[in-house]
């Protein structure tokens, strides 16, 4: 019975060890993503070796290892995009994935080889890389000020996209002048003015000459009749 308990205890230590709960690290495509991992360093003898792998931490070593360090420097590196940028001698063994891609998503194991039997610190991290978000420019608000009439002020604002459309002179709207360009009374007055003939000074002079000629002819005709009557 005692031997059975001892075997179970040994197996439990072998397959469990010191494992921290899983954590989730998210990032975007094209960015540098840092997966955190630390261990306590109080003196020089606390500095130890460790490894990173691309699967959950096994009972020993790392599966699909991507980087190894002896505690002072990186000894093995299986890809140029995987780096340890922290202070290794301070226990900062965080993994930096440079120019992350969607294919980098998955589980990563940080294994710190601590002294003692089955005493390694094992941490599993789930990395999720998402597509980069695309942002769109919001429309701008332009404010125009018009010259106010006496005794009144006027200001209008409108929202348009970032650029102004070009308008040819033939397509430009025609602006009517006057105080009431759209009222019915003004339209009637305009129509009457268009239908009314205006005599120019030259036309007035020609009509006056015509009247004078007709009057002279009438006077001569009367004189002629009186002369015939007398004779």
If you write DSSP's letter for every residue of 45-91 in order, what string do you get? Answer: GG---EEEESS---SSS-SSEEEEE-SSSEEEES-TTEE--S-GGGT
The answer to whether position 153 is within a domain reads no
Name the one residue in this structure whose structure tokens are 């340890």.
84
Residue 226 pLDDT class (50, 70, 90 cuts) = confident
Residue 38 has pLDDT above 60, yes or no: yes
Q: Residue 158 — pLDDT band, cuts 50, 70, 90?
A: very low
Regarding predicted confidence, which is higher, 158 or 71?
A: 71
- Residue 115: give its domain's CATH number: 2.60.40.10
pLDDT at 198: 44
Q: Is residue 111 part of a domain?
A: yes
Please state the pTM of the whole predicted model: 0.53
3-class state of residue 229 by DSSP: helix
Q: Which residue has the higher pLDDT, 157 or 42?
A: 42
* In-domain check, residue 120: yes
Stronger pLDDT, 201 or 13, i.e. the higher one: 201
Question: pLDDT at residue 230 above 90?
Answer: no
Q: Which residue has the higher pLDDT, 31 or 194?
A: 31
Q: Which of 9-13, 108-112, 148-152, 204-208 has the lowest mean pLDDT?
A: 9-13
Let me know if residue 171 belongs to a domain.
no
* Residue 228 three-state SS: helix
Residue 215: per-residue pLDDT: 82
Range 164-180 average pLDDT: 49
Averaged pLDDT for residues 143-162: 48
Q: Is the pLDDT of residue 135 over 70?
A: no
In the predicted model, what is the mean pLDDT of the chain? 75
Order of strands, sheet of 50-53, starting from the edge strand that comes earlier in the sequence: 18-28, 121-130, 106-112, 50-53, 65-69, 74-77
Per the structure, the complete domain to which residue 116 belongs is given by 18-130
Convert the pLDDT of each residue in 65-91 to its tens digit.
999 999 999 999 999 999 999 999 999
Q: How much of the chain exceeds pLDDT 70, in percent? A: 58
Residue 188 lies in a domain: no
Residues 130 and 28: beta-carbon distance below 8 Å: yes
Which pair of tokens denotes residue 185? Answer: 């009374």
Rounded to whole angstroms, what are the CA distances from 110 to 56, 71, 218? 9, 13, 131
Specify if 215 maps to a domain: no
The reply to whether 49 falls in a domain is yes
Q: Extract the runs of DSSP E, i.e. beta strands, from the chain.
A: 18-28, 33-35, 50-53, 65-69, 74-77, 82-83, 95-97, 106-112, 121-130, 140-145, 155-160
Q: Is the pLDDT of residue 45 over 80?
A: yes
Query: What pLDDT was estimated at residue 137?
Result: 57
User: How many CB atoms within 10 Å of residue 190?
Assistant: 13
The pair phi, psi for residue 187, each rounded to 5°, is: -65, -40
Q: Is residue 201 included in any domain, yes or no?
A: no
Read off the pLDDT band of 5 (50, 70, 90): very low
Question: Is the pLDDT at 100 greater than 60, yes or no?
Answer: yes
What's the rounded Cα separation, in Å, for the pair 12 and 118? 10
Domain count, the chain: 1
* pLDDT(154) > 70: no
Residue 184 pLDDT > 70: no
């Amino acid at each position: 019975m005692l031997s059975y308990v001892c075997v179970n205890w040994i197996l439990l230590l072998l397959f469990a060890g010191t494992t921290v709960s899983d954590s989730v690290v998210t990032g975007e495509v094209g960015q540098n993503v840092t997966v955190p991992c630390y261990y306590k360093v109080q003196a020089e003898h606390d500095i130890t070796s460790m490894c990173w792998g691309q699967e959950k931490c096994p009972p020993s070593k790392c599966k699909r290892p991507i980087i190894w360090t002896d505690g002072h420097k990186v000894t093995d590196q299986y890809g140029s995009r995987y780096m340890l940028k922290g202070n290794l001698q301070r226990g900062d063994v965080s993994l930096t994935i440079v120019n992350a891609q969607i294919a980098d998503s998955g589980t990563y194991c940080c294994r710190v080889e601590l002294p003692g039997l089955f005493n390694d610190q094992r941490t599993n991290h789930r990395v999720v890389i998402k597509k980069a978000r695309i942002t769109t420019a919001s429309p701008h608000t332009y404010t125009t000020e018009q010259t106010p009439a006496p005794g009144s002020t006027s200001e209008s604002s409108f929202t348009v996209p970032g650029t102004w459309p070009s308008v040819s002179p033939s397509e430009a709207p025609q602006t009517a002048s006057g105080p009431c360009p759209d009222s019915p009374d003004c339209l009637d007055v305009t129509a009457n003015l268009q239908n009314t003939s205006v005599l120019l000074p030259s036309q007035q002079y020609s009509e006056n000459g015509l009247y004078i000629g007709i009057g002279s002819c009438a006077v001569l005709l009367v004189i002629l009749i009186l002369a015939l009557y007398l004779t």
